[in-house]
Structure 1
Amino acid sequence: MKSIFKSSTLKSLLILAVMVITSQVYGQKVKPSESGYAPANGSKVYYEVYGKGKPIVLLHGAFMTIDTNWGQLIPELSKNRKVIAVELQGHGHTPFSERKLSHTDLASDVTKVMDYLKIDKADVAGYSFGGAIAYQLAIQSPQRLNKLVIISATYKNSGWLPEVNNAFKGMKPDLFMNSPMHNAYDAVAPDKTKWTKFLEQMIASAGQPFDLGDDNISKISAPVLIIAGDNDGLDKTELSKTYRLLGGGVSADMGPMPKSQLAIVPGQSHVSLMMQTATILNYLNSFLQ
C-alpha cells in the first residue's frame, strides 16, 4: 500500500504542477482589488478580494494556496461576482499557528474574515479540505450562508474510499519536499522555516477520524451543489447518502425538484477535477444564479 500511495501521490503532484504552470502561463491573470489579513481568533488570516457583485467565498484544498487552487477560476468568477479567497491556517500567506487544527476553529476563522470585510452573507465554495470546512461553516453559522458548493469533499472520513484513508495514515513530510506545493508555499509564506511543522500538523489532522454528523448535514437549510469526479477517491455510495440527506435522490417527475444538486464529472481524479475550469464554472454559474 505504501508504494502504491507514493506512486499515486507523486502522479497527483505532477498534475498539480502542470495545473499551476498552465494557470500562470495561459490563464488570464488578474490582480486582487484588495488583499490583507483579518484578525481571527487570536491569529490572522490572509484574504484576497476580486471583482464586484454578489459575494462568494472560496476555500482551498489541503497544502494549497489561493493561486494553486483557484487561479484559473477567479478571473472568470470575478467578472460578475465579488470573490473573497481565503488562505486557511498555516497555508500560503497565513502564518503557521500551534493551535490544533479543528473544523470548528477554521470555519470560525472564515466568518471572522467575512466580519472584517463587512459581509453578512455569501455563497461559499470549498474544495477537498476546504469543502469539509465549508460543511462545518454551514452547520455552525447557517445565517452567514446563501448557497454552498462542495467540490470533491466529504464531511466524514468514511466518505473516502478505504485506500484513501490508508494513504492519509501513511503520509510523511518527506513526500512533499521540493514538490509544487512546497514551491508554492515558499513563494508566499511569511516564514518558510515552518514548512515541516505545517506538514506535520496537517498530516496529523488528516490521520484523525472525523465526522460532522449525518443529523447536522440533514439540517443544512441552504441549497448545496456537490461536484465530484467519478474517480476522485470519494466513496460514491456514501456520496449518494449525503445527497439524500440534503433532500436529493428523488424522482422529480413525481414531485418538486430538490433545492440541492449533484454533479459527477466523468473521467476525473481528485486533482484533475480542478483543472476542468469550464465545466466547474458552468456548474457554478447555473447553480448560483
Structure 2
Amino acid sequence: MGYVEVNGVRLWYEEQGGGRPLVLLHGGFGAVETLAALRQAFAARRRLIGVDLQGHGRTADIDRPLRYESMAEDVAALIVQLGLGPADVLGFSLGGGVALRLAIQRRELLRRLVVVSAPCRRQGWFPEVLAGMPDPDETAGERMRGTPSHQLYQRLAPRPQDWPRLWAKTGELLRREYDWSAEVAALTTPTMLVCADADSVRPAHMVEFFGLLGGGHRDAGWDGRDRPGARLAVLPGLTHYDIVDSPALPAAVLPFLTHPAGPPT
C-alpha cells in the first residue's frame, strides 16, 4: 500500500492477494474500505488493487475539477506504473463511470471490465435520483457532517477540512450531462454490467447499455453460438446502497472474470 504520483495527484492504492490483477474503484464519497466485501471475496483468487480516487479517502484533492475522464487517466497511469496491464477493472457507481471511461480512453490497459450500478449516459438514473444529486455548493456538504460517509472521510482524509469542497465538486460532476453511447458501442473490451433490481440506475437503461455492447439482439441458439461477448446481471432483492456488500455480486462476477470471454468457437 502507498502512493503513486500521477497527473499531479498523489494517488493512494492498496494491494492484497496474488494472481491476475483486479483493480477496484469505489463509489462517490467512498474509499477502498467501502469495497471490503468484494476484497474479502476475491482476495484468495486475485491480486487486488484498491484505489482511492481524486479527493476521496487517503487521496487528497488537487486544483482540478472532478471528471470521469481525468480520474480514468489517473487509474491508467497507476496501471502503467505498477505494471498491471492488461488488468481486469471493476468499478461501482462513480467508480463504474471511471472504469467505463478507462475502457473507452485506454482500452489497451484492460483485459475485462465490470461496471456495477453506473449508466453510460446521465439520463440512465431514475428522475428522482437526478433531482436529488448534490448541489455544487459547500454549504450542502456542511449539512452532511456526521453521516457515515463523512465519518469515513474524517478518519482517512489527509485534509479532513476539505469535506465541503469534495461535496461541491462531486455535485458539479454529477449534474453535468453526458452520453457515451456511441463510444460504448465501439468498445471491444469484454464487459459485464451489473445492477440491482431496485437500483438507482434504471434497469431498463442497463438493458439498453447491454444492447450497445451487442447483447440482447437475438437468441443465443441451442449451443450458445450466438451468445454475446458482453454479460448482464440484474441481482434480485438489492439496491444501489447494498449491492457491493452482497455475496451475490462476487458470485455473479467471478465466472465472467475466470471463464473465456465471448461466444464459444
1:109 and 2:77 correspond: no
1:266 and 2:236 correspond: yes
Q: Following TM superposition, by how much is the alpha carbon of 1:134 offset from its aligned partner in structure 2, in angstroms?
A: 0.6
Counterpart for residue 286 of structure 1: 255
Gaps of 5+ in 2: 259-265
| DSSP 3-state at the match of 1:49 | strand
Normalised by the length of structure 2, the TM-score is 0.91
Normalised by the length of structure 1, the TM-score is 0.84
Q: Following TM superposition, by how much is the alpha carbon of 1:275 offset from its aligned partner in structure 2, in angstroms?
A: 2.0
1:92 and 2:60 correspond: no
Instruction: State the percentage of identical aligned residues.
Output: 31
Counterpart for residue 103 of structure 2: 138
Give me the whole-angstrom Cα distance separating, in 2, the residues matched to 1:208 and 1:245. Answer: 22
Partner deviation per Cα, 1:45-91 (whole Å, 9 max, x = no partner)? 100011110001001000001112x1122122110210011010000
| DSSP 3-state at the match of 2:85 | coil
Q: Are residues 265 and 175 of structure 1, via their aligned partners in 2, closer, same or farther at CA, if it must alter by over 3 Å?
A: farther
Q: 1:122 aligns with which of 54, 64, 87?
A: 87
Give me the whole-angstrom Cα distance separating, in 2, the residues matched to 1:65 and 1:158. Answer: 26
**Retained in 2: the 8 A contact 1:38–1:113?**
yes
| Aligned pairs, number | 252
Partner deviation per Cα, 1:79-129 (whole Å, 9 max, x = no partner)? 021001101000000001120111211000001111221222100000000
Where does structure 1 differ by over 6 angstroms across 4 or more consecutive aligned residues? none
Partner deviation per Cα, 1:132-173 (whole Å, 9 max, x = no partner)? 111100000010011110111112111111111111155832
Please tell me the residue identity of whatever aligns with 2:27: G
1:242 and 2:212 correspond: no
**Retained in 1: the 8 A contact 2:32–2:51?**
yes
Please tell me the residue identity of whatever aligns with 2:229: K
1:195 and 2:160 correspond: no
**Retained in 1: the 8 A contact 2:197–2:238?**
yes
Q: 1:82 aligns with which of 39, 47, 68?
A: 47
Please tell me the residue identity of whatever aligns with 1:214: S
Counterpart for residue 67 of structure 1: 33
**Retained in 2: the 8 A contact 1:38–1:112?**
no
